[in-house]
Structure formats: structure tokens, C-alpha cells
Chains A and B, each alone.
Chain A
Amino acid sequence: MQNGFLLLASYFFYGWWDWRFLSLLLGATFLSYLLGIGIGNAKREGQRKLLLGVGVGISLSLLVFFKYFDFFVESFADAFSLFGSKMSVVALNLILPLGISFYTFKILSYMLDVYKGRIPPCKNIFDYSLFVSFFPQLVAGPIERATTLLPQIQTQRKFSYDQAGDGMKLILWGLFKKIVVADTTAGYVHDIFSNHELYPASMLWLGILYFAFQVYADFSGYSDIAIGVGKLLGFELLKNFDRPFISKNITEFWRRWHISLSTWFNDYIFTPFYTTFRNWGNIAMYVGIMLTFFLSGLWHGESWHYIFFGVLHGAAIVIETATKKSRKRLSKKVPAWLYNNLSMVLTFLFVIITWVFFRAKNMDHGFSYFKGLFDASIIEIPGKLAYIPLVLVMVIWEWLQRKKKHALDFGFARPLRWLIYLVVTFFILYYFGNEQQFFYFQF
């Protein structure tokens, strides 16, 4: 009964966006359900491998077709033109089905987990369908694993006042981050990135700073809302962000940023690759890291600037891995507070600078913006500082609440707590009106 209602709600939610793509979701779900059972029941390893191969192949083909077809065809034509001859290509200009990158990864992890024996295949088609399409996380994650979500689906859930209360507070805080911080700063970011050649370097730095907090507030806000809705319905979903901007190196950053995707790539790409080629020594690790981040960049979008962004982060982690011992020696010679804070600042700078390519329209735009960052006009006082206080409120609040369950978890008396919730609610209502689509919906 509970699952049937949630399944209908999930399909309604997805169909509301575009009912035509429901068939794709249903097809992918049904096929992976059958293949999961097949993998679980197959007696011979060859058979299991074959079924897994078919499942992974079909899932990736759908993703590649809808998300990357035009990109591959156009890139192929560009590469061909380097040899002097022009090639006419037919771009299909396909609509990207909402959430395809997210639910494909859920399906893949399910089949791989069944193959590895981490979970038994799900026999109930409705339970499995709900796992794939669970609406709070269907379109932008967190990318929940079958190992954690399926058991919750298969259990009767009971209402808990504390869990539901936490859910409401997470939704409220998520809305604050999305509407008050992300949607307001989005206008400035759009303007600065669109007209970067008109602005001084100091403004371009402000642009990437705003973008860092816009994308954080947008995506972590969405995750908070998804986790909050999950709690209201009796589910505990994965934490997707853990104060990423205090990371002291890029490796740590990816442990704190979009955690469900990072762990997915770690578990299903890097670890299997490294395990397979372990006898290559460090080379296997470096190649594994680069491959993982190349694919992570590609996952974000069908464009070279996303891949470049991924490769930059991969290269940074390779350098970090290769210099681990020397950095450790250095850390012993320098006062800890200086080393830690400097590491944090440098990591933050690297992240926001590389995000130029993440936000850019294409590689040319990214390089042009990047060049503009290092102009003499960096000393000019930038305009558009109006939203800095909003960003600071979010950052400071989350920092002060870092040891609590979430940002609105207080131990105060009820009247004071409720007053804070009311103030947050009215902040949201005040800034409501410039809604932007969630940033990660495009992926």
C-alpha cells in the first residue's frame, strides 16, 4: 500500500515534466529488474557475466544515445576536419530525459551489486520500480544504492515525529539555500559570465566566488529537500554534502562534494580498475584516477569543458597522491594552523578557478574568462557585492551548526526555535520570485 502510493506519486511526478519519457523510465526499470533476477539466478559465471554485460550495455547505450550522441558525432566531425576535409554530420538535437544520468547510475549499481553478491535480486517488481523512480531523488540524486534503499522499501515504515520534524526542517533549510542564496546569486553569475569581457578581473573573481556558493546552495539545497522529503516518508537517504569548502585537498573535497556520485565512481569505476591492474603499481592508481575523473566530467555534460574540468581535478588528485609523503614531511616543519589553513585556501582557490570551465558555455568561453582573472584590473573594487551577506549567512550558519544533525537542529526552547523557523520562512518568501531551475537538472 505504502509503496504502491509512492510509486504512483513518483511516476506522476516524472510524467508531469514530460509523460513521453515515462516509457523510457519504465522500460529501463523493467529490463534491469529482469536482468537482476537473471544475474541472481544464473548458475554459471559466464552466464552471469553475459547478463551483466547486456544490462550495463543497454543502460549505458540509452544514456549515451540521449545524452552524448550529438556530442560524439560533432566531436568526430571536428576531429575529421583537422585532417583538412569537412564532414557533414546530422545532429539529432535530442531532448535530454530528466534525471537519466541519475537513474541510470542507480540501475547500474543495482545490477553490479547483484552480480557481486552484495544484495540478492529484488523479486518484487513494484519494490524495484520504486527504488529506481523514488521521486525525491529521481531527477537530481542523491544517487542512492540498492544496498541501502531497497531494504527500507521492503520494510513497513512507521511514522516518527522526530524523523518527520527533521524532514520539515531540512526542507525549510534546503529552500532557504535554493531560493535565498542560489537563485539570487544566479542572476549576478549569469551576468558576469555572459559579459565577462566587460568586467574588471576583480569582478570575474567575484563571479566565480558567487558561482561556487550558487552551485553549492542550489545542489546541496536540492539534496536537503530530497533527504527531508525522504524523512517525511520514513526513509533515510544518503548525505550528499559535508561542508566541502573546508577541504584541505582535492581528494577530501570530493569526499565532501556530491558524495553519492563520488562514492559511486569510486566503487564502480576506480576500485574495480585499480584492483584489476594492481600489479602496475602506482601507474594503475594514476590511470584509474584520471579515468574516473574523465568519466565524472563526461557524466556532468556532453561537452569538452566538462571533461576538461574533470581532467583538471583528476590531475590534481594524481599530484596529491604522488606528493603525499613530501607533503607530510612539509606539514611537520610548518605550524599546523598555517599548513591547514593554507591548504584550505589553496584547495578552495583551485576548486573555484576550475569551476570556470564547469560554468563556461564552452572551452573558448572558459579560457577567455580564465585569462580575464589575471588582469591588472584585479585591484579594482568590484560592484555587485549586495548578495555577499546572504552567502555569509548560509556559510556561517552551517559552520555554527556543523556538529548538529542539520542546520536547523537547535536545543533552544520551542518559542525561540519557532521564531527562527518563521524568520527563515519569511526570508524564503521575501526572495521567492526569481526561481531558477535546479542546476543539476541539466545533467
Chain B
Amino acid sequence: MKKFIKHIVIFFLLVLVVFAFSGTFNYFQLKNTPSLGDTETLIVGDSRVMTAINPELIPNSKNIAQNSESYIISYYKLKFLLKNNTKVKKVILSFSYPSFSAYLDGIFKDDIATADVFGRIYPIMKPNDFGSLEIDKFKYYKVLFKQMFVYPHTNHYQYMGGFTRLKYGLDKADLEGVVQRHYFDKDSNNIGISSCASQYLDSIVELTKQNNIKLILVNIPFQKKYLEKVPSNFIEYYNLQKSRMLEKVVTVLDYGQIELPDTYFKDYNHLDLEGANYFTEMLKKDF
């Protein structure tokens, strides 16, 4: 028994040694803020801008949008990046109907994407930063532990996102599924408006003002069948936020209702590469 316990203890000490090495390495890696270089236009937000705005067509721009990114994440991401990147002059931010859905509030707890989201944002957000939002703290710390102690690595910038080229796929897209996810809960009741989206949108407005950055809110084009299914309370709330932003002298470019050919869509709420190139050229002219 003694020999067995001794071997178990030695084995776990070896595991601890690896933890200590990885932890030290990752700690110093985390201290580096990624440089945006000469980037003047930063594209931030959810999967809709992630797939719709091609930074190759906009000089000195960088698309750092990511799927399932709510305003709270965009706020902390910008706050973190703008500290050491003073060349940024414009921020293009996703602004559409699902941006205000409560489904984005629930993504930090009991969601299929929870672990994935924590795996991206741990360098920029601590559990206390989530305010009144419910988060799965155990899962957060589990992800943090894994990223910091299990293996040494340099990839601590998964929150950076990037433009994603998609192929046409509207013919196979699931309209009901995406509408259900964006606007309804498991029992198919209207999921309601996010408790904090508007608050963090205001915080982003303030942050960009403080850094003398022009904020441009962009509603990307949706396929018309999707628009027909958006519940009225979301359209009303979106319009209310749009008016509020215009009052704050924020530029709002609303392409939500324009009609694009179906070949420009990956699915009902994402553009494919052809659509993204067309849309980016259109956007460039307008700002």
C-alpha cells in the first residue's frame, strides 16, 4: 500500500511540475497584447459581419468579428485592444435584429457554445466582468485552467476572430432552426430582449468617443424569408435602438431590408464570399 501511495504521489507531482511550467509560460504569453499594426478600420461583432465584410477590400482594415459575439464581448475586446493600438480611426460594429436577442445572454451558461466562448474570451474577461449575466463559473475556470496550465502555447488570441469566406449554401440552409435559435426558447416562446445589449452598446459608444474613433453601426443584408420571420418586438426594439444611436450622432448604415440575389447567401442570415465582396464594395461607398 505504501509503495502504491508513493507512486501515486510522485506521479501527481510530475503532473504538477508540468502545470507549473505551462502556467509560467502562458502567464508571460498572456501579457502581450496583440498588435493591430497599421489598422485604421476595425470590424467587430458577430458572425454576420464576420462573413459579410471582406477586409481585403478596405485599405488598412481588419475584421476581428466572431460568431456568437454579443456587445458585452465586443466591448471588452475593444477596451483591451484599443489600449495599445492608437492608429484605429474607425470601428464598424455589427448592428442587427439578433444583436438584441436574449439568446446571446444565455450563451455563457448551459449552451452548446459556452465552453467555446470561454475558450476565446478568458484573456479579456474575468467572471466579474459579466455583471448581472448568469455565467457557468465552474466551466469558465475549467476552461481557464485548461488554457493556462495543461500545455504551454502561444495561441491566447482566439478572441481576435477574422473574416470567414463561406460558400453558397442557401439551398441547404435551415430557416426554422436559425429563427428558433435567435428568437425563441426551448419551449418555442419568444425569448425576449437582451438585458444588457443596449447598455454595452452605449459603453462601446462611450469608449470609441474617448478614443476619438468613429463608430459605424452596420446592419447587414438578410435573406427576405428570414426577415419575414423576425418577431415584431425585435424589429421595434431594433428601430428604437437605431433612433437612440442616431440621437447620439452615431453613424448607422442599415442594409437589413435591401434585396440581394439568393446566390449571395450562405444561409438566411450570412452572406457567402460573393455576397461579402459585393456588400463590402457597397459599404465602402457609403462610409
Partner among A164, A418, A433 whose Cβ is within 8 Å of the Cβ of B143: A433
Q: Is the CB of A195 within 8 A of B15?
A: no
When each residue 117-148 of chain B gets 1 if its CB lies under 8 Å from chain A and 0 otherwise, what string results? 00100000000000000000001001100100
The interface residues of chain B, by DSSP majority, are classed as: helix
- Closest B residue by C-beta to A232: B4
Whether B142 pairs with A433 at a CB distance below 8 angstroms is: yes
Against A, the Cβ 8 Å flags (1 = close, 0 = not) of B208-246 are 000000000000000000000000000000000000000
In the assembled complex, how far is the CB of residue B137 from the closest CB belonging to chain A, in whole angstroms?
A: 14
B57 contacts A by Cβ under 8 Å: no
Contact of A422 among B18, B112, B143, B172 (CB under 8 A): B18
Q: Are B115 and A434 in contact (CB under 8 A)?
A: yes
Residues on B with beta carbons closer than 8 Å to the beta carbon of A422: 11, 14-15, 18
Q: Mark A184-219, 1 if CB is under 8 A from B, else 0.
A: 000100000001001000000000000000000000
Taking CB atoms, residues of chain A closer than 8 Å to B142 are: 432-433
Residues of A within 8 A of B15 (CB): 422, 425
Interface centre among A195, A418, A429 (most CB of B within 10 A): A429
Instruction: Tell me the chain B residues, 193-210 only, with Cβ under 8 Å from chain A.
Output: none
Residues of B within 8 A of A425 (CB): 15
Q: Name which residue of chain B comes closest to A194, CB basis.
A: B177
Query: Chain B residues with Cβ under 8 A from A187's Cβ?
Result: 112
Q: Is A168 an interface residue (CB 8 A)?
A: yes
| Residues of chain B contacted by A426 (CB below 8 angstroms) | 18, 150-151
User: How far is B1's CA from A350's CA once the two chains are assembled, in angstroms?
Assistant: 48
CA distance A426 to B112 in the complex (A): 24
B3 at the interface (CB under 8 A from A): yes
Interface presence of B174 (CB below 8 A): yes
Q: Which residues of B contact A195 (CB under 8 A)?
A: 174, 177
Chain A positions 96 through 107: 1 when the CB is less than 8 Å from some CB of chain B, otherwise 0: 000000000000
Q: Which of A142-198 contact B (CB under 8 A)?
A: 159, 161, 164-165, 168, 187, 195, 198
**Is B282 interfacial (CB 8 A cutoff)?**
no
Query: Considering residues A187, A421, A432, which has the most beta carbons from chain B within 10 angstroms of its beta carbon?
Result: A432
Chain B positions within 8 Å of A165 at CB level: 4, 7
B8 in contact (CB, < 8 A): yes
Q: Do A430 and B151 touch (CB < 8 A)?
A: yes
Taken together as a complex, chains A and B put the C-alpha atoms of A165 and B8 apart, in Å, by: 9
Which residue from A161, A421, A432, A433 sits with its C-beta under 8 Å from B3?
A: A161
How far, in angstroms, from A418 to B13 measured CA to CA in the complex? 12
Interface size class of B (residues with CB under 8 A): 20 to 34
Chain A residues near B1 (CB, 8 Å)? 159, 161
Q: In the complex the two chains form, is B174's CB within 8 Å of A429's CB?
A: no
Q: How far is the CB of B285 from chain A (nearest CB, A)?
A: 35
Cα distance A434–B139 in the bound complex, in angstroms: 9
B112 closest partner in A (C-beta): A187
Instruction: Return chain B residues, CB-CB under 8 Å to A433.
Output: 115, 119, 139, 142-143, 146
* Shortest beta-carbon distance from A41 to chain B in Å: 41
CB distance from B43 to the nearest CB of A (A): 26
How long is the Cα–Cα vector from A433 to B150 in the complex, in angstroms? 12
B49 CB to nearest A CB, Å: 24
Q: How far is the CB of B121 from chain A (nearest CB, A)?
A: 15
CB within 8 Å: A-B pair count: 40
Give Cα distance in the complex from A165 to B4, angstroms: 7
Give the residues in chain A near B146, CB-CB below 8 Å. Answer: 429-430, 432-433
Q: Which residue from B4, B139, B173 sits with its C-beta under 8 Å from A164?
A: B4
* Chain B: CB-nearest residue to A168: B8
Q: Given the interface contacts A429-B150, A430-B151, A433-B146, does A161 sit within 8 Å of B18 by beta carbon?
A: no
Question: In the bound complex, how far is the Cα of B18 from the Cα of A421, in angstroms?
Answer: 13
Q: What's the nearest-Cβ distance from chain A to residue B167, in Å?
A: 11
- The residues of A that contact B3 with a CB separation of less than 8 Å are 161
The distance in angstroms between the C-alpha atoms of A195 and B178, with both chains bound, is 12
- A418 engages B4 (CB within 8 Å): no
Instruction: Give residues 17-72 of B contacting A (CB, 8 Å).
Output: 18
Q: In the complex, which residues of chain A have a beta carbon less than 8 angstroms from the beta carbon of B150?
A: 426, 429-430
Minimum CB–CB distance for A68 against chain B, Å: 26
The distance in angstroms between the C-alpha atoms of A434 and B15, with both chains bound, is: 21
Q: Which residue of A lies closest to B142 (CB)?
A: A433
In the complex the two chains form, what is the Cα distance from A164 to B18 in whole Å? 25
Contact for B11 among A161, A421, A429, A430, CB less than 8 A: A421
Q: Are A418 and B11 neighbours in the complex by a CB distance under 8 Å?
A: yes
Rounded to whole Å, the gap between the CB of B182 and the closest CB of chain A is 17
Report whether B172 and A198 are in contact in the complex, using a CB–CB cutoff of 8 Å. yes
Q: How far is the CB of A375 from chain B (nearest CB, A)?
A: 13
Provide the bound-state CA to CA distance between A422 and B115, in Å: 24
Cα–Cα distance between A164 and B2 once the two chains are bound (Å)? 12
A93 CB, nearest partner CB in chain B, Å? 15
Complex Cα spacing A159 to B8, Å: 15
Whole-angstrom distance from the CB of A327 to the nearest CB of chain B?
Answer: 43
A165 to B5, CA, bound (A): 10
CA A159 – CA B142 in complex, angstroms?
A: 34
* B14 interface neighbour in A159, A168, A418, A434, Cβ under 8 Å: A418
Closest chain-A Cβ to B119's Cβ sits at a distance in Å of 8
Residue of B nearest to A187 (CB): B112
Which B residues touch A432, using CB under 8 A?
A: 142, 146
Candidates B4, B115, B143; contact of A161 at CB < 8 Å: B4
> In the complex, what's the smallest C-beta–C-beta distance from A409 to chain B, in angstroms?
16
CA distance A195 to B11 in the complex (A): 44
Q: Interface readout for B154-175 with A: 1 if CB under 8 Å, 0 if not?
A: 0000000000000000001110
State A165–B15 Cα separation when bound (angstroms). Answer: 18
**In the docked arrangement, what's the CA distance between A380 and B11, Å?**
47
Report B-chain residues with C-beta under 8 Å of the C-beta of A159.
Answer: 1, 4
The listed residue (A164, A198, A430, A434) touching B174 by CB distance below 8 A is A198
Q: How far is the CA of A116 from the CA of B218 in the complex (A)?
A: 78
| Assembly CA distance A434 to B111 (angstroms) | 11
Q: How far is it, in angstroms, between the C-alpha of A422 and the C-alpha of B8 when the chains are bound?
A: 12
**18 pairs across A/B with beta carbons < 8 Å?**
A159-B1, A159-B4, A161-B1, A164-B4, A165-B4, A198-B172, A198-B174, A418-B11, A418-B14, A422-B11, A422-B14, A422-B18, A425-B15, A426-B151, A430-B151, A432-B142, A433-B115, A433-B142
Q: A159-B1, A159-B4, A433-B139 are in contact. List 10 more A-B contacts (CB 8 A).
A: A198-B172, A418-B14, A421-B11, A422-B11, A422-B14, A430-B146, A430-B151, A432-B142, A432-B146, A433-B143
Spell out B's residues near A (CB within 8 Å).
1, 3-4, 7-8, 11, 14-15, 18, 112, 115, 119, 139, 142-143, 146, 150-151, 172-174, 177
9 closest residue pairs by CB, A with B: A429-B150, A198-B172, A159-B1, A433-B115, A164-B4, A161-B4, A430-B150, A433-B142, A161-B3
